[in-house]
Amino acid sequence: DIKGFAFDLDGVIADSARLHAKAWHQTADEVHSEWTPELAEALKGVSRMDSLEMILKAGGHENDYTEDEKVALATEKNTKYLKLVESLTPDDVLPGMKAFLDELKASGYKMSVASASKNAPAILKQLKITDYFEGVVDPAKLHAGKPDPEIFSLAAGVMDLAPEVVAGLEDSGAGIKSINAAGELSIGIGNQLTEADVRFADTSDVSLAAIKDKLA
Ligand code: G6P
Ligand code: MG
């Protein structure tokens, strides 16, 4: 039986995936790489520097910039992103997720955050939901990002739970792979996530009853 839930943040709890995409789109334009829906989807769950590499590669520009210039481009993206994030309020918790967090809390489930974002603690604070979670995995300490299982294994550790009793929620393909490799139950937000154990079209569909229904 599931005893804890490990949450991705951007695109699962926070309506911030669109803000990452908006800021990266500007970077893509700047380096003359084409911004496509496929690229936008592939960037979900990917770390800041790896995202930049993927954007440069999309236009064949990976060798056109020095390491220092790449760091500058990534820093510039983060500055733009943080500017966009300033406008987030508790109303930007994605539909249904506040109710789901409340349901989990009331039912005694543990919760933790498994986000690749170094901005995750700031966003939780802005959405006023920090206190729901036992803790947040620090992505700076990871040896490998999603799809590696490390982040979701650590998220189980934060809750003091074995992976077998943890469910992970994700909106990215890389994240679902990470959850599956960690030996946890994978819950995908988005019908394209064919590798997820359980899939929901939208955050508003997620509840304990709906998860049980899909597993039955
Ligand atoms: C999440 C998002 C990605 C983002 C990554 C790093 O996984 O889905 O879009 O690139 O975090 O975020 P950061 O805020 O540290 O640049
Ligand atoms: Mg995400």
Q: pLDDT at position 213, please?
A: 97
- What's the rounded Cα separation, in Å, for the pair 187 and 86? 29
User: pTM for this structure?
Assistant: 0.95
Mean pLDDT, rounded, of the chain: 97
pLDDT tens for residues 173-183?
Answer: 999 999 999 99
pLDDT tens for residues 126-157?
Answer: 999 999 999 999 999 999 999 999 999 999 99
User: Is 168:6 a contact under the CB 8 Å cutoff?
Assistant: yes
Residue 91 among the catalytic residues: no
111 strand-pairing partners: 5
Q: Is the CB of 146 under 6 A from ligand 1?
A: no
- Centre of ligand 2 to C-alpha 45, Å, is 5
pLDDT band with cut points at 50, 70 and 90 for residue 212: very high
Q: pLDDT at position 22, please?
A: 98
What percentage of the chain exceeds 70 in pLDDT? 100
- What's the rounded Cα separation, in Å, for the pair 104 and 207? 9
pLDDT band with cut points at 50, 70 and 90 for residue 92: very high
Residue 131 among the catalytic residues: no
